[in-house]
Amino acid sequence: MKIALETQHACRKKNAGVGKYTWNIIKNLLEMESPHEYEMHLFDFMFLEKSHRKLLDSFGTQKRVWKVCPFLHYGMIARYPGLYNFCSYNSLFHSHADVYHFFNFIIPKKIAGKTIATIHDSCFFRYPEMLSKTNYSIFKDNLLRSCRYTDLITTVSEYSKKEIVEFLQIPESKVCVIPAGVDRNIFYPKKDSHTKERIQKKYKIPGDFVLYLGTLEPRKNIPFLLKCFHAVIQKEKNLFLVLAGQKGWQYEKIEECLQHLGLQNRTIFPGYIQQEDIVSLYSSATIFLFPSLYEGFGIPPLEAMACGTPVIASNASSLPEILGDAAILVSPDNIQEMEFQIQRLLSDSSLRNQYSEKGLQQSKKFSWKESAKKLLRTYERILGLEI
């Protein structure tokens, strides 16, 4: 069997969301023993981004063939998928694979071979106001169109599967859950004092801190988190809030809330965190806070658990499914409840240790390797090769 993997997202934002999922699933697929061959597909307009070189360094060439299309920019395909009507996907990549897996939902209308699309969530249907009008239009049009054409959809949680079936009105049998995972060779507790001192010095954090890590965008519910933190520090005079991650859409509303609450001197925005510091940052935090309104999976709180840091998260969307009873789950609109739970953990080291241990055990349930195995069986099944 020849399997073609659309690798576009694997070379971008490897430490966040869709990019992290794509990179880790492909990495673990390629490391598995199997008789199958892989084609790695990538758009790299005029070879200007040199994206294929980045992925070659990561994934190598053994038992795989790299095919790069230099004639189109991936962003053009995302905005104008009708371009596929002028030149077939098979022709663009000179490809005759048996299965084509697109780690997004931009699927060519006409393609020779079975197709699989990965849809991470349905946020734009549940909360359309949380996307710009342009992005909403792109997501909605591509998703509805692609789901008609693709042979199978994979998603990352049972919650997302339920949402996809409901919003897109497709049969459950067409959707398969391939969850995200945690690489425990990377994410593990680093609780020594030297690590914490180094992180505090590098990111100018004056004292103990609670942490959020993720894109700073509307669905992550950051203004709510700022209001909760404002309530907490009325008693906790030496606590700081670290909001780590890239600035997203409507970031200016976060700045407005910050200034309104007077939290400029108690909140640190370190921006995008490099891979070598993520584990140390997770491990050094007293509590990891994740009040998101909507997640298809929710990788950051699971990584924080793997680093031994107790987690308080919202009880919304997929988070109860992924985090189980290993996190304290609260309503994402109840400031008093969130404040109470933060204070409760801050004042009780025994309780923090209890949730730290529970989190470590919960994180072990999610493995990139096991997810890759399940995905490979899915490829085989779609072609009737499963034994």
What is the token pair recorded at 324? 């189980």
The confidence score (pLDDT) of residue 269 equals 97
Q: Identify the CA nearest to 310 among candidates 347, 275, 335, 336.
A: 347
329 Cβ contact list (under 8 Å, min separation 6): 312, 313, 314, 315, 319, 320, 323
The confidence score (pLDDT) of residue 238 equals 93
The confidence score (pLDDT) of residue 249 equals 83
The confidence score (pLDDT) of residue 72 equals 72
SS (H, E, C) 256-287: HHHHHHCCCCCEEEEECCCHHHHHHHHHHCCE
Distances (CA, A) of 79 to 9, 70, 301: 16, 17, 32
- Residue 74 near residue 8, CB atoms below 8 Å: yes
The confidence score (pLDDT) of residue 47 equals 64
The confidence score (pLDDT) of residue 105 equals 76
The confidence score (pLDDT) of residue 298 equals 96
- Residue 99 near residue 382, CB atoms below 8 Å: yes
Q: Which CATH class is domain 193-363?
A: alpha beta
pTM value?
A: 0.92
What is the token pair recorded at 290? 């994740």
- Secondary structure of the chain: what % helix, strand, coil (to 5)? 50, 15, 35
Report how far residue 141's alpha carbon sits from residue 357's, in angstroms, rounded to the nearest whole number.
Answer: 44
Domain boundaries, the chain: 2-181+367-382, 193-363
The confidence score (pLDDT) of residue 113 equals 93
Domain 2-181+367-382 has CATH 3.40.50.2000: yes
Q: Would the CATH topology of 2-181+367-382 be identical to that of 193-363?
A: yes
Please state the φ and ψ torsions of residue 179, each to the nearest 5 degrees: -70, 160
Report how far residue 211's alpha carbon sits from residue 268's, in angstroms, rounded to the nearest whole number.
Answer: 10
Print pLDDT tens along the chain (387 aa). 999 999 888 876 566 788 899 999 999 999 998 899 999 998 877 666 666 667 777 777 666 788 888 777 676 776 666 676 677 888 888 899 999 999 987 788 778 999 999 999 888 788 888 777 777 777 777 788 778 889 999 999 999 999 999 988 999 999 999 999 999 999 999 988 899 999 999 999 999 999 999 999 999 999 999 999 999 999 998 999 999 999 988 899 999 999 999 999 999 999 999 888 999 999 999 999 999 999 999 999 999 999 999 999 999 999 999 999 999 999 999 999 999 999 999 999 999 999 999 999 999 999 999 999 999 999 999 998 764
Determine if residue 214 is left, alpha or beta; phi over 0 gives left, psi from -120 to 50 gives alpha, anything else beta. Answer: left
